[in-house]
A and B are shown apart, each in its own frame.
Chain A
């Protein structure tokens, strides 16, 4: 069973990860097309790129789980084709979904990986103590991994990957579905590891994480489009990032109009302001004109890595939402579309949602934020009728979900993070099913389906299964399905989890368009830049609604001397921490809140 260890490659001992002309095919598709890169020890490299760029394939090749078809991958000088056994004792790899045994306890997971990585019993106590201290998991060592919140699972996954002090640490999308506080903690841990000399590769959809890395490998369609320090890429955008402030009218409308200008490469909403990127060849005058015509202020701002990323990948799609434009405005005399009073949910002894009351106004984007396991999912599920409350009431469009569930449900559209579509049905059959489920018939049904196919450009993929589509298409299809019956309220449960920035922008363009038609949006998200799109944000902590305000007001709340201009992420972290957030050990609910 013991293979002879391959000899070390003498030529480049300094680069623990070396990719030379790497090509990988699956059937006829080229997943990775000729990538060259060398990563030096002690650096933190982010692997970024849109969905389907080949990030996971590349990670798996570095973990010696896939062999390249052409070229070579060397890890600590060993070829993955011949030295996989030796490589596996020198790397730590955390796959997507963390690779944990959910029916084993924290301690048992750690024990298992210690044995697998060959930690000698004598060294074990010290190694465990260090990992427990590092991840602060000590108090939870007897808890089953499946009962941990997302943030703690991520830490446990990291602890398992770190067993045996690997020379190379590979993390595949470690922060998907994890709240900002946990992300920040993870980030701090990984940086500490890099400064100890570990080589870390980190695949991510969060570009602020990429921005803080030592270097970035930017992949697009299997090709390496940028390699180097993130700052160098960001610098290219110098003088092209702007901010529009003091917007008098509708900021969403403004963004949409701006995105339609050829001079605008990218644009996002940040609270009450709009951030725009100017196309390289366009002059600033066009943007100036736009600002002047709307009577808002226009100022240059420092570029972010995200700006450069979007620019490099060809910019944001235009600001039209064809579907929203075709919809008739929601006509209602109601001032609020979602109402809950003293909403409470017990799971045995545990109170997941504790006396929550709020109203969502008609045509408002309302964000429900909170750390993993704080109870926001439970609250959200009660609001759309998936979970009966223990006490209190929830109403959608004036209908009580307990008394008139049929009427209430006919008013709401729902889209979940898994894009729950039927993989065994074709795209067209999915559309037909969801339209029928919401009671559309005859000509109207055909008309709506055609409309969706038309506006979301689904024609070429109608006969295919949603399972084989790229994430972006899946998301479009899921949105199309949830809009078929023209809901007046749209419930979005982490709708962009794990989705790349360009697809997310397209998604928010649609949301903005819907809001313009008076549709009410209720959303949960872990992306704080998306929380900026919300009119109001509710922060759920330990089952209670502790903050309810506009993003700007929340940011202002935490602004202080050492942080004069906090981001929404800063605001979230500070607000949570000031309220005595100690991990999330108290907060876990048995209903899958901690997915």
Chain B
């Protein structure tokens, strides 16, 4: 009995794998886009600020104003500097989105500053680009501080009045955003594909009539679900692995954690996505419903996972709800395994929720299929 069941499962798995991989077009759609996305998005997505266009109005006749303009022009984060001659121009440039920020150096700035420190620079920032504006303002603060310190030192000959701070960023010393985004993207994309593929699988068989063919055979609903899970798991895990390898070999991101533990957590994670996909598929009557249903779930899953913004920024109750989100747990594991040398106990602590989600959704899918037969 058991041997027969194993054998039927093997047949189902081979069939599913073939239907994903035999046709070159399907194979392309399955593997090409995620890898392309990994490449594009890894380079594109960054919360750093670079290539910022800036406008400057310098009415100061002294040296400090000129120094400040030169320091800003030379800064890493700026690209084009527009020199304005009227305050109105600055405002117009920001208004029209041509520059992210404008520096307005008033007349007598150098004199006032060097006399009694009463000079001040005005900085206007475009609040529509809140994130970039905030970071750019931070950079600008540092620059003005340096310029100020230099001229202060020149005028008084005094060195730093107080000792500063020793700053260390652990795990990611240069705060490279790519080190963060690549491990996370590998999880997002692997989940996306395994969820979409499985969401369509039963709905498509139903539309083509082959699902009836399966149901009249001795294959049981449990076997159908397992037989559909394992191939999707293999493909999702393979894709996840390729992307992790790309992270290590192509993007040169340090992998400090345990390969074994990640290799154990990844399949559980994919399986939870597969369970969600199969549940959608078993509910839906048509492919269109399955596609739209999958979309309607993928968006909240990605948004509440901590991928785009940290989970801790969400309100408390939503953080609780997001405990049911497999991506949230996996992102912790992936980031931890890459950068933080996450110990086995912590990987396990984040794996068992995944196991629960997978078990729950897969049982639900089996129940849905069986309900139609009994």
Contact present between A and B (CB < 8 A): yes
Contacts of A402 in B (CB 8 A): 374
- Whether the Cβ atoms of B218 and A414 lie closer than 8 Å is no
Contacting residues of chain B (304-340) with chain A, CB-CB under 8 angstroms: none
- B98 on interface, CB distance cutoff 8 Å: no
- Tell me the A398-450 residues at the B interface (CB within 8 Å): 402, 405-406, 409-410, 412, 414, 416, 418, 420-426, 429, 432-439, 441
- The answer to whether B218 touches A385 (Cβ under 8 A) is no
Contact between chains at B210 and A438 (CB < 8 Å): no
Q: Interface digits, A434-471 against B, CB 8 Å rule (1 contact, 0 not)?
A: 11111101000000000000000000000001000000
In the complex the two chains form, what is the Cα distance from A412 to B217 in whole Å? 8
Which residues from A are CB-within-8-Å of B10?
436
- Quick check: is B141 within 8 A (CB to CB) of the other chain? no
Contacts of B209 in A (CB 8 A): 416, 418, 420
For the complex, give the distance between the alpha carbons of A386 and B215 in Å.
Answer: 6
Q: From A409, A416, A425, give the contact of B15 (CB < 8 A).
A: A425
Query: Would you call A385 and B14 a contact (CB within 8 A)?
Result: no
Query: Do A424 and B26 touch across chains, with their CB atoms under 8 A apart?
Result: yes
Judge whether A388 is part of the interface by a CB distance below 8 angstroms: yes
- Per the 8 Å Cβ criterion, residues 52-90 of A in contact with B are none
Q: How far is the CB of B107 from chain A (nearest CB, A)?
A: 65
Closest residue on chain B to residue A425 by CB atoms: B18
Q: Is the CB of B212 within 8 A of A437?
A: no
Contact B218 A491 (CB under 8 A): no
Contact B220 A424 (CB under 8 A): no
Q: How far is the CA of A325 from the CA of B102 in the complex (A)?
A: 91
Tell me, in angstroms, the Cα distance from A423 to B25 when the chains sit together: 13
Complex Cα–Cα for A422 and B15 (A): 9
Contacts of A412 in B (CB 8 A): 216
State whether B18 touches A439 (Cβ < 8 A). no
Which of B7, B19, B216, B374 contacts A388, CB < 8 Å? B374
Q: Tell me how far the C-beta of A265 lies from the nearest C-beta in chain B, rounded to whole angstroms.
A: 35
A216 at the B interface (CB under 8 A): no
* Contact, CB under 8 Å: B218 / A438: yes
Residues of B within 8 A of A435 (CB): 11
Binding site of B, secondary structure by majority: helix, strand, loop or mixed? helix
Complex Cα gap A40–B213 (Å): 47
Instruction: Determine if B7 and A422 form an interchain contact, defined as CB atoms under 8 angstroms apart.
Output: no
Across the interface, name the chain B residue whose C-beta is closest to A493: B212
What residues of A have a CB within 8 angstroms of the CB of B26 in the complex?
424
Q: Which of A406, A414, A432, A439 contacts B14 (CB 8 A)?
A: A432
Check A423 against B373 for contact (C-beta < 8 Å): no
Q: A437-B12, A439-B8, A439-B218 are in contact. Are A429 and B213 (CB under 8 A)?
A: no
Query: B213 to A420, Cβ gap below 8 A?
Result: yes
Task: Tell me whether chain A's interface is mostly helix, strand or loop, or mixed.
Answer: loop
Interface check A263, CB cutoff 8 A: no
Beta-carbon contacts under 8 Å, B196-216 to A: 208-210, 212-216
Query: A425–B218 contact, CB under 8 A?
Result: no
Contact A424 B23 (CB under 8 A): yes
Does B128 interact with chain A (Cβ within 8 Å)? Answer: no
Q: Kindly provide the distance from the CB of A49 to the nearest chain B CB, expressed in whole angstroms.
A: 26
B44 within 8 A of A: no
B217–A418 touching, CB < 8 Å: no
A-chain residues with CB within 8 Å of residue B373 when the two chains form the complex: 385-386, 388, 405
B35 located at the interface, meaning its Cβ lies under 8 Å from any Cβ of chain A in the complex: no
Task: Check A384 for interface membership: any CB of B closer than 8 A.
Answer: yes
Query: Does A423 contact B208, Cβ atoms closer than 8 Å?
Result: yes
Tell me the nearest residue of chain A to B220, going by C-beta: A406
Pairwise interchain contact A416-B212, C-beta atoms closer than 8 A:
yes
Say whether, besides A386-B215, A422-B210, A424-B26, A437 and B14 are in contact (CB < 8 Å): no
Complex: chain B residue closest to A482, CB-CB = B213
Report chain B residues within 8 Å CB of A425.
15, 18-19, 22
**Residue B4 at the chain A interface, CB threshold 8 Å:** yes
A565 vs B144: C-alpha distance when bound (angstroms): 108
CA distance A434 to B216 in the complex (A): 11
A384 to B216 alpha-carbon distance, docked (Å): 6
**B219 close to chain A: CB less than 8 A:** yes
Q: Which residues of A contact B214 (CB under 8 A)?
A: 437
Given contacts A416-B209, A418-B208, A439-B7, contact A426 B22 (CB under 8 A): yes
Would you call B208 and A429 a contact (CB within 8 A)? no
- B4: chain A residues at CB < 8 Å are 439
Query: In whole angstroms, how far apart are the Cα atoms of A559 and B373 in the complex?
Result: 43
Say yes or no: A433 contacts B15, CB within 8 Å. yes
Which residues of B have CB within 8 Å of A421? 210
A385-B212 in contact (CB<8A) = no
Given contacts A429-B18, A432-B14, A436-B14, contact A409 B217 (CB under 8 A): yes
Distance to closest chain A CB from B156 (angstroms): 79
Within 8 A of A (CB), among B4-57: 4, 7-8, 10-12, 14-15, 18-20, 22-23, 26
Within the complex, what minimum Cβ distance (angstroms) separates A426 from chain B? 7
**A432-B11, A441-B7 are contacts. A414–B18 as well, Cβ < 8 Å?**
no
Complex Cα gap A540–B37 (Å): 57
Q: Which residue of A has the minimal Cβ distance to B26?
A: A424
Choice from B12, B14, B210, B220 contacting A420 with Cβ under 8 Å: B210
Closest to A419 in B: B209
A residues near B212, Cβ cutoff 8 Å? 386, 414, 416, 420
Residues of A within 8 A of B22 (CB): 424-426, 429
| Distance to closest chain A CB from B206 (angstroms) | 10
Q: Which chain B positions have C-beta within 8 A of A416?
A: 209, 212-213
Residue contact B216 to A386, C-beta cutoff 8 Å: yes
Q: How far is the CA of A421 from the CA of B208 in the complex (A)?
A: 8
Contacts A386-B215, A405-B373, A422-B210 given; does A433 touch B220 at CB 8 Å: no
**Most chain A beta carbons < 10 A, residue from B4, B8, B217:** B217
Minimum CB–CB distance from B241 to chain A (whole Å) comes to 24
Encoded as 1 (CB less than 8 Å from any B CB) or 0, chain A from 489 to 512 comes to 001000000000000000000000
The proximity string for B residues 284-296 relative to A, scoring 1 for CB distances below 8 Å and 0 otherwise, is 0000000000000
Contact in complex: B217, A438 (CB < 8 Å): yes
- Complex alpha-carbon distance, A424 and B20, angstroms: 8
Known contacts A422-B19, A436-B8, A437-B8: A491-B216 contact under CB 8 Å: yes
B120 shortest CB reach to chain A, Å: 65
The 4 closest A-B pairs by CB, nearest first: A436-B11, A420-B209, A424-B19, A418-B209
**Given A429-B15, A429-B18: 10 more A-B contacts, CB < 8 Å:** A384-B216, A388-B373, A409-B216, A410-B218, A414-B213, A420-B213, A434-B217, A436-B15, A437-B8, A437-B12
**What are 13 contact pairs spanning A and B, CB under 8 A?**
A386-B212, A386-B215, A405-B373, A410-B218, A420-B213, A422-B210, A424-B20, A424-B26, A425-B22, A433-B11, A438-B218, A439-B4, A441-B7
Instruction: Please give the residue numbers on chain A whose beta carbons come within 8 Å of chain B beta carbons, in ascending order.
Output: 384-386, 388, 402, 405-406, 409-410, 412, 414, 416, 418, 420-426, 429, 432-439, 441, 465, 491
Residues of B within 8 A of A (CB): 4, 7-8, 10-12, 14-15, 18-20, 22-23, 26, 208-210, 212-220, 372-374
